[in-house]
Amino acid sequence: NAGVTQTPKFQVLKTGQSMTLQCAQDMNHEYMSWYRQDPGMGLRLIHYSVGAGITDQGEVPNGYNVSRSTTEDFPLRLLSAAPSQTSVYFCASRGQEHTGELFFGEGSRLTVL
Amino acid sequence: QQPVQSPQAVILREGEDAVINCSSSKALYSVHWYRQKHGEAPVFLMILLKGGEQKGHDKISASFNEKKQQSSLYLTASQLSYSGTYFCGTELGHGSSNTGKLIFGQGTTLQVKP
């Protein structure tokens, strides 16, 4: 099993550009989430989903959109990138009726110039 | 809503013990603990559900005091491999079930020296 797969691993954007970070899991987990990690700030929850068709906001949702059309995929969209969105992004999933451990992807490093 | 971890950083010699604390201002459904090495994704250590349980594997254990909304991670006889950043993640309850919103603390950096 591949687990949680994120693409791309690295991306450089210019201010105002849009892009989508892809996340896919092959563990049939209903729960998926996106975090961003900045130095000294820990992991901050952007959006999460408890199943296909259901999404909810986390701590820092502004500037990001998500959708969950399938159980496997949970893409994160930046519609108009800003330098403040320079960060490392982690996608994670969990099973066991949402009470199990989080399985993280390897991360995507995004730089917005 | 973000849990508060203490201390922010710890430096140990091999074989020494450490305690990392995590506290929340809200009633918790569960507490997670993860360790992250530099440049890598966080890795799961353990989860504690409300009920005041204590868990452990090898020389790493944790406790969860539901009434105080606090959890502590205990690392005994530390090894070089324990170095990294430790995060607690807290999840609020909704009635008898969880909300699904797992929020992490700012992290505690642990460095173990020979």
pLDDT at B101: 85
B106 touches chain A (CB under 8 A): yes
A42 contacts B87? CB cut-off 8 A: yes
Q: Is B102 on the interface with A (CB under 8 A)?
A: yes
- Residue B58 pLDDT: 73
For residue A96, the Cα-to-chain-centroid distance in whole angstroms is 20
Tell me how close the Cα of A61 comes to any Cα of chain B, in angstroms: 13
Convert the pLDDT of each residue in A40-96 to its tens digit: 889 999 999 999 999 999 999 999 999 999 999 999 999 999 999 999 999 999 986
For B15-54, give one letter per residue: b (16+ CB within 10 A) or e: eeebebbbbbeeebbbbbbbbbeeeebbebbbbbbbeeee
Find the CB nearest A106 among B41, B49, B100.
B41
Nearest CB to B107: which of A31, A42, A107? A42
Question: Do A103 and B107 make contact, defined as CB atoms within 8 angstroms?
Answer: no
Model pLDDT for residues B43-60, shown as the tens digit of each residue: 999 989 876 566 667 789
Secondary structure class of A38 (helix, strand, coil): strand
CB A107 within 8 A of CB A88: yes
Residue in chain B lying closest to A4 (CA): B41
Query: Residue A57's closest CA among A45, A39, A67?
Result: A45
